[in-house]
Amino acid sequence: VAGGPELAPADGDQRLPHDSGRDVNEEELKNIGVLYYRIPDLSGVNALASERDYKNRDEITVSPAKMGDIYETKVRSFFDEHLHEDEEIRYIRDGKGYFDVRSKGDEWVRIQLEKDDLIILPAGIYHRFTTDEDNYIQAMRLFKEEPKWTPLNRSGDLDANEFRKAYVSQYWG
Ligand code: KMT
Ligand code: NI
């Protein structure tokens, strides 16, 4: 888990580490509503899922081998800054990747995830995802009912979104 500097969204090298050298600890993540766990086996994930009433899950592999021609487009679109109106839970099964989240004051914090890492992003937080230079990650996606991961891309209009407002008042207050 490490802090990263501001990255230009279209800088062409989103998969490079962009490590600022300033470490961010779990407490700082918790302060912006981001929960991080290291879970070595599936029984731990099952327990967390049942506690939170997450009944469903699937797995996604993000790699050129799995996605073919659409890989580059997909990785670009995961990297568009967005929010969701529900939590986003990802459990990394293999490979590595980066979740960038906006901290208080709107700075990017880059969270490197690898096998056995689980992350919970709260509804309303601005974030984005990218693979790294290895171009390979396999992740379990947990959800409650129907998957509801419609990304709402960042815009001034979203300031009025109720999930965004709830997030800001809870964590930036
Ligand atoms: C997301 O929400 O950005 C994704 O699901 C990306 C792949 S999961 C590591
Ligand atoms: Ni997302």
Domain of 67: which CATH number?
2.60.120.10
Number of domains in the chain: 1
Quick check: is 112 in a domain? yes
Which atom of ligand 1 is nearest to 113's Cα?
Answer: 9
Instruction: Please name the residue whose Cα sits nearest to atom 9 of ligand 1.
Output: 139
Could you tell me if 1 and 32 are in contact, meaning their C-beta atoms sit under 8 angstroms apart? no
Q: What pLDDT sits at residue 20?
A: 84
pLDDT band of residue 149 (cuts 50, 70, 90) is confident
Please indicate, yes or no, if residue 1 is contained in any of the structural domains. Answer: no
pLDDT value of residue 88: 96
pLDDT for 147 beyond 80 = no
Task: Name the residue of 14, 57, 59, 60 to mutate for ligand 1: max ligand atoms within 8 A of Cβ.
Answer: 60
Assigned domain for 132 exists: yes
Nearest ligand (C-alpha, residue 132): 1
Query: 31-70 pLDDT, tens per residue?
Result: 999 999 999 999 999 999 999 999 999 999 999 999 999 9
Which residues are paired to 128 by β-bridges? Answer: 100
Digit-coded pLDDT (tens) for 90-140: 999 999 999 999 999 899 999 999 999 999 999 999 999 999 999 999 999
Whether 48 is in a domain gets the answer yes
Q: Does position 4 have pLDDT exceeding 80, yes or no?
A: no
Residue 117 lies in domain: 26-171
User: From the CA of 78, how far away is ligand 1's center (Å)?
Assistant: 7
Sequence-ordered list of residues with C-beta below 8 angstroms from that of 86, at least 6 positions apart, any chain:
123, 144, 148, 149
Q: State the CB neighbour count (10 A cutoff) for residue 15.
A: 16
- ipTM of this model? 0.93
In a domain? residue 15: no
